[in-house]
Each structure stands twice: as structure tokens, then as C-alpha cells.
């Protein structure tokens, strides 16, 4: 396998991993009410309330809020539907770098900027909405963990671009040499 092919394969593997995680995190925003009920039951089964009471208190509070919203104000949950949709749409954008990484590196850089933006969003909006700091740290981890594969992809795209440029230079010199020889 050539260096170019190996780089392209590595870029695509990392992009698929990132897109799968993005789709999964988005898809889980659709059934929040049911997921939270399931998570609360699982945490109780695992005796989490005894070991991490603050976590359990928070999960119970969020579940009660979602139950109330679902029963009395279901239109509020429409916001999480749009959140899920946004994740799916952003995931589709990564088809561009999958297909032509060098030309579409900007999509990867856009994703990296979005990952960085998660941190101030959580630090500002978390306290405004009454989110515990430890939960905001969990939210921020999505940006921290999300930027890692994108950083790897960006580095590999830069190497691919340099390799492609070097190959084009060699081909150009060969054409010039042939043209001068004739």
C-alpha cells in the first residue's frame, strides 16, 4: 500500500469513528424521557445511590423534569429533537472530507472549532440553567474527546496534502524535462 493510500485509509477510519460517535450522541437526544427512566432504573440496580448520592439526586431531578415536560409541555422536548437533528446534519457534512480530505479540510477544522466551543458554552450556560459543575465537566468532555480524532485527521490531511504536492512537483519536473529534451 502506498503512503498516500495508507494516509487516506487512516483519515477515513478516524472520520467514520467520529461520525458514528456524532450520530450516536445525536440519536440519543430523541428518546430522552425513556432513556432517563431506563438509566435511573439501571443506576438503582447497580446501587449507585449508596455510592454516588449526588449523581442519583441529579438523575432523579432531571427525570422528574423530563416527565413533567413530557406530560404537560411536550413541545419543550422539541428542542432536543432539533439538537439530535443538528448532530445528524453535522455528521453528513463529514462526507466531504471522507471523499476528498485535502479539499474539505475546512469541515474538519470547523468541527474542531465546534468542539472547542463546547467548553465556554458549558461554563456559561451550565450555571445559568442550574447545571451542577461536575455535570458541565461531563458535557465539556464531549468537546475534549471529540477534538482528538479531528486533530489526528487534520494532521493526516496535512501530510496527505504535502505528499500530493510533492508528487505533483515530481510529475511537473518530469514533464518539464521531457519537454526540454524534445
Q: Model confidence over 83-126: pLDDT tens digits?
A: 999 999 999 999 999 999 999 999 999 999 999 999 999 999 99
46-57 residue pLDDT tens: 999 999 999 999
Give pTM, 2 decimals: 0.84
SS3 3: helix
Give me the pLDDT at residue 164, please.
86
Q: Which three cell numbers stand for residue 174?
A: 518530469
Give me the pLDDT at residue 174, please.
59
Residues 79, 83, 85, 86: is their CA dihedral positive or negative? positive
Give me the pLDDT at residue 1, please.
74
Give me the pLDDT at residue 175, please.
62
Residues 71, 74, 79, 80: is their CA dihedral positive or negative? positive
The residue with greater pLDDT, 39 or 180, is 39
Provide the mean pLDDT of the chain: 93
**Which of 116, 114, 112, 140 lies closest to 126 in space, CA to CA?**
140
Instruction: Please say whether the beta carbons of 136 and 58 come within 8 A.
Output: no
d(CA 96, CA 104): 6
112-166 residue pLDDT tens: 999 999 999 999 999 999 999 999 999 999 999 999 999 999 999 999 999 988 7
d(CA 34, CA 106): 37
Amino acid at each position: 500500500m502506498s503512503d498516500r493510500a495508507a494516509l487516506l485509509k487512516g483519515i477515513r477510519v478516524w472520520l467514520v469513528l467520529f461520525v458514528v460517535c456524532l450520530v450516536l450522541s445525536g440519536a440519543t437526544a430523541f428518546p430522552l424521557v425513556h432513556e432517563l427512566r431506563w438509566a435511573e432504573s439501571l443506576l438503582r440496580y447497580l446501587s449507585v445511590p449508596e455510592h454516588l448520592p449526588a449523581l442519583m439526586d441529579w438523575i432523579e431531578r432531571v427525570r422528574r423534569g423530563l416527565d413533567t415536560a413530557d406530560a404537560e409541555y411536550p413541545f419543550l422536548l422539541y428542542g432536543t429533537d432539533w439538537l439530535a437533528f443538528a448532530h445528524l446534519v453535522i455528521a453528513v457534512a463529514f462526507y466531504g472530507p471522507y471523499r476528498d480530505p485535502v479539499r474539505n479540510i475546512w469541515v474538519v477544522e470547523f468541527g474542531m472549532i465546534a468542539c472547542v466551543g463546547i467548553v465556554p458554552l458549558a461554563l456559561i450556560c451550565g450555571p445559568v440553567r442550574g447545571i451542577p459543575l461536575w455535570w458541565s465537566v461531563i458535557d465539556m468532555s464531549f468537546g475534549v474527546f471529540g477534538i482528538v480524532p479531528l486533530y489526528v485527521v487534520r494532521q493526516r490531511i496535512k501530510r496527505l496534502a504535502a505528499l500530493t504536492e510533492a508528487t505533483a512537483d515530481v510529475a511537473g519536473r518530469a514533464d518539464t524535462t521531457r519537454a526540454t529534451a524534445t
